[in-house]
Amino acid sequence: MKVMVMRPIFKPGETSNPDFVLYPYHIFHLRLFYKRLGRSDRVFDYFAYVDLYRLGAERGDGFIDLYEWDVEEKKVMEPLVDYEEAKMKAFESAITWGNSRVVSWWLPRIEIIREAQAYKVFWIFEKNREKFLMDSLEGKEFSLEKLVGKDGRKCKGAWCR
């Protein structure tokens, strides 16, 4: 299947061919228009990265580069959050951020400039005979055994593949 993937920044160095799992996000570039009494209106751009598995939102500095990958379906985690929930979470996050920067009697008008569903790459690799996950955007490594337990019984979702 073809999916859009956020450009990986980090990759494990010890392994020539690590495996991976793709974690779902929806990315929004929003524009907020604030009306103000007796002052000029304010316009802000906001980039929201909405986690489609846990329904969290992070603010980004821009719209990350996306690449199309052709992958096996089993490497892709299914989103648990639908589009409307993701959009509302992005708007809520943008309003909270915008309201901390401007005083207005009104909620902002919000326009979606650009959006895309994309996946973050989590590399699965072995180091010192132990399996690890690496976040491809932050470079953080996580012991798979600590995440899922020695026998794998705590294992849920695509992390276990």
12 contact partners, CB below 8 Å, separation of at least 6: 18, 123, 125, 127, 132, 134
- Enclosing H/E stretch for 95: helix 83-99
Residues in the chain: 161
Which whole number is the average pLDDT over 59-82?
Answer: 97
Residue-wise pLDDT for 8-65, tens only, equals 999 998 656 789 999 999 999 999 999 999 999 999 999 999 999 999 999 999 999 9
Domain boundaries of the chain, sorted by first residue = 2-160
Task: Please state, in angstroms and rounded to a whole number, the distance separating the CA atoms of residues 8 and 139.
Answer: 9
Burial of 34 (0-12, 13-18, 19+ CB in 10 A): buried
Residue-wise pLDDT for 113-161, tens only, equals 999 999 999 999 988 888 899 999 999 999 988 887 666 565 555 545 4
